[in-house]
């Protein structure tokens, strides 16, 4: 059983009273550096759900995957019977398997969490485009777009250490990969994307220190990012 928790709070989710399970044949189809896959994997760890992960080559997608997937994107959760796609939907599905929810109790707070989790996709895509940009001018353009989006999240942060306060939620899992890559860029390129964003910086520190986030982004993650950027001809790899 994969489960780890490093902060105790009323909304944290250590040790469900009964194991939460997926069918033994279920597999989460993934790509090693995909931040959207990371979201689903973090939620599974937080919920104590065992999930088998199968990595595929997105440049050479296998026929069995293309036959099952309506979008051809990862992550996808193949239960053997059902083929569930889109990372936010997979995270919600895992959350609903049982045990304490990774959402706030109040309907409006849940809706806002889902909205900001959806907004995370904008930041992740802008950050990725920055990282693979082939020219410095292109990188600067994506960095500016990313900063504008990050400013919007900064104004929405009213609690600490996580989005809702003490309790880790799905919205935190949605943003965790962003901060992992921010950490990568500052460590390897001295590029600090969090300058002028103190609330985001504190949130990112809490997330990147969390055990589940660290498990999903193992010690090999920086090397995988380096290799992918070089393969894409990134200006930041020169």
pLDDT at 26: 93
Provide the mean pLDDT of the chain: 91
pLDDT at 237: 87
Q: Which domains, and CATH codes, for the chain?
A: 107-237 (1.20.1050.10)
pLDDT at 19: 56
- For the chain, what percent of residues have pLDDT higher than 90? 86
Closest CA to 221 of 41, 12, 1: 41
Determine which helix (DSSP H) or strand (DSSP E) holds 28, and give its type and residue range. strand 27-30
Q: What is the mean pLDDT of residues 18-35?
A: 86
Confidence of residue 223 (pLDDT cuts 50, 70, 90): very high
Distance CA 43, CA 91 (A): 6
Distance CA 25, CA 28 (A): 10
pLDDT at 214: 97
Confidence of residue 17 (pLDDT cuts 50, 70, 90): very low
Does the pLDDT at position 8 exceed 50? no
Q: What is the largest CA-CA distance in the chain?
A: 53
């Amino acid at each position: 059983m994969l489960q780890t928790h490093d902060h105790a709070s009323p909304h944290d989710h250590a040790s469900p009273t009964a194991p939460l399970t997926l069918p033994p044949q279920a597999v989460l189809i993934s790509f090693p550096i995909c931040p959207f896959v990371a979201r689903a994997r973090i939620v599974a760890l937080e919920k104590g759900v065992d999930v088998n992960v199968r990595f595929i080559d997105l440049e050479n997608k296998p026929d069995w995957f293309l036959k099952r997937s309506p979008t051809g994107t990862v992550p996808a959760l193949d239960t053997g019977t059902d083929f569930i796609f889109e990372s936010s939907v997979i995270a919600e599905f895992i959350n609903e398997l049982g045990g304490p929810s990774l959402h706030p109790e109040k309907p409006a707070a849940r809706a806002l969490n889902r909205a900001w989790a959806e907004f995370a996709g904008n930041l992740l895509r802008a950050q990725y485009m920055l990282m693979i940009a082939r020219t410095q001018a292109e990188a600067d353009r994506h960095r500016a777009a990313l900063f504008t989006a990050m400013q919007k999240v900064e104004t929405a942060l009213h609690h600490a250490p996580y989005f809702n306060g003490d309790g880790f939620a799905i919205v935190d899992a949605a943003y965790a990969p962003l901060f992992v890559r921010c950490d990568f860029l500052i460590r390897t390129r001295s590029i600090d994307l969090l300058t002028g964003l103190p609330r985001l910086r504190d949130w990112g520190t809490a997330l990147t220190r969390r055990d589940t986030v660290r498990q999903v982004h193992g010690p090999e993650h920086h090397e995988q990012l380096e290799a992918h950027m070089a393969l894409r001809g990134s200006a930041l790899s020169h």
